[in-house]
Every structure is written in C-alpha cells, then in structure tokens.
C-alpha cells in the first residue's frame, strides 16, 4: 500500500490521501469516530486509515523520545497493535488522545529497557559540559537540537515535545501523560530553559 | 455407527493437526522436500519424548543458510537430538529447554552426563542454564570438567546469581583479551567468589 | 531574538523529522493481523480445552511472550559494505537483522531483544563471508564448518 501522509488535524474535506488500494480509499474521508466503529467490527481497512492518519505524528514523537528511528518504529508498531486490541475500550471521539497515550506509554517502557540510551545520555552529558558547538560552526545544527533534546530528563522531553512540537494544550497533555497541568507547565518551562542554555542564544 | 464415524473423524482431525504442527513452515519454505521429511521425523521424535524442537529447527535453518547439503543438515540435527537426550539424562527430566541447550554445550565442550548429574544435584533446584552455559564456554578454553563441576557446586553454595555467573564469564573474557591465561583467571575468580560468599 | 522566536525555530526544526518508510504501514497491519489470529486461537483454545492444545501450534500461540534483554551485536569492519548478524534468534535468516554503520564508517552494530537462553550466531559480511564475533573470546565449531559465537542471556 502506497500512501501520502495526511495532516491529522485537517478535516475530511481537505484530506489528501493517495492510495493504491481502492478499499482503503473509500474510507479516507471518514471521521475518526466512523473509522473506530468500523475497525471495532473487524474492518482492518478502516484501521489502516487510522494508522496512516496518525503514524507520522507518533513516529516523530517516538523518535525524539527514544533517539533512534528503528526503536521508534518498533514502539509505534507495538502501540498500534495494542490500540487495535483495546479498541472496544476507546471512546471513538477521543481516539487521537487515547491512542497517543498508548504511544507515550510504549515509549516509556522502551526507554526503560534500553541501557544504551542511558549510556548515550551520559556520553552527551560530558559533551554538554564542554559546550555544544554553535550552529554557525557547521551544518550539524539539527543534530545539536537532537542532542539537546536528548539531554533533557525523560519527563521534560515528553512534555516539551507534546507542547512545542505537537502543539497540544496542557489539558490534552494531561490526558495523555497522566501528569497534572501544573507539573507539565513546570516541566515545559524547565525544558525550554535547559534547551536554551544548551543551544545558546542565536538560532 | 454414527458414534464410531465421529470418533474416527476426531482422530483424523487431531492427526492432521499434529502433522501440520510437525511440518514447521520455516522448514517447508527453505529446505527441499527430502530434507524437510528427514528433519520432520527427528523433530517428531523429539516431541514424542518431550525434548525441545526449536533447537533442532534452528540447526536445520543454520545449515540451509550456510549452504550445507540435505544429508549434512539431517546428520547435524540428528546429532543434536542425541545430545539433547544425553543432556536430559544428566540434568533430569524436569530440565528446561534452555538448560538442555546449555547441557549440550557442556557435552560438546568436553564434559559428560555424570558431570551434569552432579551439577543438577548440587544446584538444589535453582536453574542451571546460565551457570552450565558459562562453565561450558570455559571448558572449551581448557578448564578441566571435573574441576568445573566442583567449582559450580561451590559457587551454588555461595549463592552466586545468574548475573554473577555472567559477570564471572565477562571477567575471564576481559582478562583473556588482556593476554592473561584462562585457567589462572578462572581459578582466582572462583576463589574470590567462594571466599566472599554471595558477592558477584 | 525573543524567546518566542527562538522556540518557534527549534520547534519547526523538530517538526521536520523524516516520516516513516513506505513499508511501515504494511508491517503494522501485518502485526495487527497476527495479533488478531493469536486472539482467535486463544479464544478457541479456551473453549475447547485439551483438544485445542493438540491442534497445530496452539500451545505455542497461547504462550505469553518472555521478557527480553537487549543485546548489542557490534563489529569493526571499515571495509565492509553490508553486515548482518545471523543466528538462532532470527531463524538464521541472512537478511533479517542488518547492522547499521556508525557515523565514522568503521563500526557496525544492531540491537536485538532476546529472551533468556543460549544463542549461537555469526556475522555475515558482504553476503558471503562468515565471521565469529571477534569481541567474544569464546566460540564453538559449528556442525557446518565455520566457527560460531555464543551469547548467554539471563
């Protein structure tokens, strides 16, 4: 199946979705609610559209959380399997936040399991002590941002990504992470300060 | 009449299902039909006597990947089946698949069934997969099996954990990389671990 | 630059992450289908009890997945153009576990989650050369000629 990613926030009327599979195409303009209800009845094509609708957003989050494309794909794949298994427990109109919560949990589990990530962090910590190079020093600016994200605590990283990369409200973030709004605000604020310290003034 | 017919059908269904299970799809897709039959018979035998089949299948797949002939694959699988059975004679009927695989390593590294039986007795019910595998690796580097068997007993008494055994192995590996001899390093480590009881 | 402008530039950069590869959806849906099949088998097994256990693979399908330990396989091979790790944990499949080359081009590595047990493996270099793991001082002779390395997972 070949597809072009769509913006999950776009309404059905502006949805762009090119798909070689006609059965899937027939679902493309459906709302999340319709798709969840159809998927619950065993329609895997409907679930395929939900996967296509959310996967890029989930993968982006998982990649920043786990620091590796492969680990991100594994975690998100696992999350989708769990989402499908538990569809009966999902309020269809809240599918986005509910499935995101499962992705967040899978990433937490994956991060706990990966010793290498802690090792990498400790290596980066040493790099941070001598200062991350200024972006003007080379083309590795993007890499420096990734490193700075990696140097945040897991909770700060989670909050920063949901707030400033996914543009979620604090209430949405609270529903996804299970943390209070006040705690999330504190984490985001600390994450921003730390990022700014690491990356310097001029971007 | 009807009852007998239904009974026969059930037997047929169960037999066909058992046959389907015997023919592992990984074997069917990667080996020629003659080799699949040969390996199938061996895995059937293993299943009947309660030995694990997965190591046998992996052995066959390894042969296919390395381009071995069907005869050679069947011979390797048969040899492994024999060693799994010997390992179980040593480690007891309750040995897990992992313990049996470690036992095979032991047997192939110069140890015998009597050693395994002694290890089983001295383990007092704790799992021996990791200790036996670690010790088998060291047998391959010249640790005498009698001494290793005795050392395992003492390390069990010192309540060395699986993590401790793996650490012992890593200590020896590091020393070997640095040019030290295997035997002096193993002996020094075992002494340290059994004198400082319980510390990995 | 204001804090807000700075934050917008960093966020925009992070949003520009590369998307998934073309195969990702197919893999996800394959995993979902397998999961559905497992659940059907589990339900069938619960309904039919002992009879279900005699049927193909049911016992295996009902078994809970073992917790895993992550193991890293790595080797320094600057001149190689492709390296895979092949062993008991991936059905000795030459293609299933490719190693990734490090940024400096010398080291190849892959991480695999393994359940407890003893595993044999070897590296396959450029699709034709077998190598035991030089990091592992312990290797055993394979029944098929080349040495293989062992890893014991707790």
**pLDDT (0 to 100) of residue C22:** 64
CA A169 to CA A188: how far, in whole Å? 12
With beta carbons under 8 A apart, name residues in chain A contacting C15. Answer: 60, 165
| Chain B residue with minimum CA distance to C119 | B101
CA proximity to C66, closest of C100, C43, C93, C89: C89
Q: A96: distance to nearest CA of chain C, Å?
A: 17
CB contact under 8 A, B63 and C146: no
**pLDDT (0 to 100) of residue A201:** 53
CB contact under 8 A, B105 and C118: yes
pLDDT confidence band for A113 (50 / 70 / 90): low
Tell me the percentage of chain A whose pLDDT exceeds 70: 70
With beta carbons under 8 A apart, name residues in chain A contacting C35. Answer: 81, 84-85
With beta carbons under 8 A apart, name residues in chain C contacting B177. Answer: 137
Partners of C120 in beta bridges:
C150
What residues of chain C score a pLDDT lower than 70?
1, 17-22, 38-68, 137-138
Mean pLDDT computed over every residue of chain C: 75
Give every CB contact of residue A69 below 8 A, 6+ residues apart in sequence. Answer: A63, C18
Partners of C97 in beta bridges:
none
| Chain C residue with minimum CA distance to A2 | C22
With beta carbons under 8 A apart, name residues in chain A contacting C3. Answer: 192, 196
Asked whether the ipTM of the predicted complex exceeds the cut of 0.90, the reply is no
pLDDT confidence band for A27 (50 / 70 / 90): low
**pLDDT (0 to 100) of residue A28:** 58
Q: Is residue B13 classed as helix, strand or coil in its secondary structure?
A: helix
| Chain C residue with minimum CA distance to B74 | C143
| Chain B residue with minimum CA distance to C141 | B108
pLDDT tens digits for range B33-60: 999 999 999 999 999 889 999 999 999 9
pLDDT at A25 over 90: no
CB contact under 8 A, A69 and C18: yes
pLDDT at A123 over 50: no
pLDDT at A65 over 70: yes
Least confident of A48-57, A131-140, C82-91, C111-120: A131-140
**pLDDT (0 to 100) of residue A13:** 29
The CA distances from residue A31 to A9, A34, A59, A167, B4, in Å, are 11, 5, 21, 21, 56
Least confident of A31-40, A109-118, B181-190: A109-118
Evaluate whether chains C and A are touching (3 or more beta carbon pairs less than 8 Å apart). yes
pLDDT tens digits for range B124-152: 989 999 899 999 989 988 899 999 999 99
Tell me the percentage of chain C whose pLDDT exceeds 70: 74
Of residues B147 and A2, more confidently modeled: B147
By a Cβ cutoff of 8 Å, what residues of chain A touch chain C? Answer: 1-3, 5, 44, 47-48, 51-52, 55-56, 59-60, 63-64, 69-70, 73, 76-78, 80-81, 84-85, 113-116, 141-142, 145, 149, 161, 164-165, 192, 195-196, 199, 201-203
With beta carbons under 8 A apart, name residues in chain A contacting C36. Answer: 84
Q: Is B162 on the interface with C (CB under 8 A)?
A: yes
Most confident of A93-102, B12-21, C3-12, C49-58: A93-102
Mean pLDDT within A144-154: 83
Enumerate residues 32 to 91 of chain B having a beta carbon within 8 A of any beta carbon in chain C: 55, 58-59, 61-66, 68, 72, 75-76, 79-80
Give every CB contact of residue B155 below 8 A, 6+ residues apart in sequence. Answer: B131, B164, B165, B168, B190, B193, B194
Mean pLDDT within A66-84: 89
Q: Which residue has the tokens 């001149």?
A: C79
pLDDT confidence band for A163 (50 / 70 / 90): very high
DSSP state of A152: S
C111 phi/psi in degrees, rounded to 5 = -115, 135
Q: C143: distance to nearest CA of chain A, Å?
A: 33
pLDDT at B186 over 80: yes
**pLDDT (0 to 100) of residue C39:** 63
DSSP state of A164: I
With beta carbons under 8 A apart, name residues in chain C contacting B137. Answer: 138, 150, 152
**pLDDT (0 to 100) of residue B41:** 92
The minimal CB distance from C7 to the residues A2, A47, A164 is found for A164
Which tokens hold the place of B25? 């799809």
Contact present, C131 and C82 (Cβ < 8 Å) = no
CB contact under 8 A, B65 and C145: no
Q: Is residue B197 classed as helix, strand or coil in its secondary structure?
A: coil
pLDDT confidence band for A19 (50 / 70 / 90): very low
CA proximity to B128, closest of C112, C137, C116: C116
Contact present, C97 and C71 (Cβ < 8 Å) = no
With beta carbons under 8 A apart, name residues in chain C contacting B101. Answer: 117-118
**pLDDT (0 to 100) of residue B64:** 94
**pLDDT (0 to 100) of residue A199:** 81
**pLDDT (0 to 100) of residue C105:** 84
Exposure class string for C83-106: b at 16+ Cβ within 10 A, else e: bbbbbbbbbbbeeebebebeeeee
Evaluate whether chains B and C are touching (3 or more beta carbon pairs less than 8 Å apart). yes
* Kind of pairing between the strands at C129-131 and C117-125: antiparallel
């Amino acid at each position: 199946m070949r597809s072009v990613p769509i913006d999950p926030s776009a309404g059905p009327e502006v949805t762009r979705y090119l798909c070689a599979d006609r059965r899937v195409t027939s679902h493309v303009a459906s709302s999340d609610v319709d798709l969840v209800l159809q998927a619950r009845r065993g329609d895997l094509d409907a679930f395929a559209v939900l996967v296509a609708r959310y996967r890029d957003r989930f993968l982006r989050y998982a990649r920043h959380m786990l620091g590796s494309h492969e680990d991100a794909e594994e975690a998100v794949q696992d999350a989708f399997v769990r989402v499908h298994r538990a569809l009966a427990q999902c309020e269809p109109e809240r599918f986005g936040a509910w499935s995101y919560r499962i992705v967040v949990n899978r990433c937490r589990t994956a991060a706990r399991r990966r010793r290498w990530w802690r090792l990498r962090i400790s290596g980066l910590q040493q790099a941070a002590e001598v200062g991350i190079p200024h972006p003007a020093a080379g083309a590795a600016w993007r890499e420096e941002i990734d490193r700075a994200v990696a140097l945040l605590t897991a909770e700060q990283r989670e909050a920063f990504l949901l707030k400033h990369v996914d543009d979620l409200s604090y209430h949405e973030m609270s529903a996804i992470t299970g943390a209070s709004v006040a705690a999330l605000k504190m984490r985001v604020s600390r994450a921003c300060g730390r990022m700014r310290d690491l990356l310097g003034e001029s971007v | 009449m009807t009852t007998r017919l239904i009974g026969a059908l059930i037997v047929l269904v169960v037999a066909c299902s058992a046959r389907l299970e015997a023919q592992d799809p990984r074997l069917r897709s990667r080996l020629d039909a003659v080799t699949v039959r040969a390996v199938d018979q061996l895995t059937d035998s293993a299943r009947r006597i309660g030995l694990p089949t997965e190591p046998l299948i992996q052995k066959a797949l390894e042969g296919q990947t390395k381009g071995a002939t069907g005869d050679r694959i069947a011979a390797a699988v048969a040899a492994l089946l024999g060693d799994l059975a010997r390992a179980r004679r040593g480690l007891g009927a309750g040995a897990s698949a992992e313990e049996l695989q470690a036992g095979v390593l032991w047997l192939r590294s110069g140890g015998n069934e009597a050693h395994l039986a002694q290890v089983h007795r001295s383990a007092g019910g704790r799992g021996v997969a990791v200790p036996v595998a670690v010790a088998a690796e060291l047998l391959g580097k010249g640790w005498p099996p009698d001494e290793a068997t005795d050392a395992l007993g003492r390390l069990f008494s010192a309540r060395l954990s699986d993590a401790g055994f793996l650490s012992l192995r890593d200590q020896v590996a590091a020393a070997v990389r640095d040019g030290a001899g295997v035997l002096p390093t193993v002996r020094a480590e075992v002494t340290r671990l059994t004198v400082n009881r319980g510390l990995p | 630059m204001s804090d807000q402008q700075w934050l917008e530039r960093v966020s925009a950069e992070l949003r520009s992450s590369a998307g998934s590869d073309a195969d990702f959806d197919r893999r996800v849906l394959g995993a979902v289908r397998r999961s559905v099949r497992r659940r059907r088998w589990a339900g069938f097994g619960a309904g039919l009890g002992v009879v279900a256990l005699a049927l193909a693979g049911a016992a295996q399908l009902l078994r809970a997945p073992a917790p895993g330990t992550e193991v890293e396989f790595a080797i320094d091979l600057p001149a190689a153009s492709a390296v895979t790790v092949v062993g008991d944990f991936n059905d000795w499949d030459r293609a299933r576990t490719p190693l990734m080359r490090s940024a400096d081009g010398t080291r190849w590595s892959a991480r695999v989650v393994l359940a407890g047990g003893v595993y044999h493996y070897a590296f396959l270099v450029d699709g034709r050369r077998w190598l035991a793991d030089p990091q592992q001082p312990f290797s055993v002779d394979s029944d098929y000629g080349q040495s293989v390395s062992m890893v014991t997972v707790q």
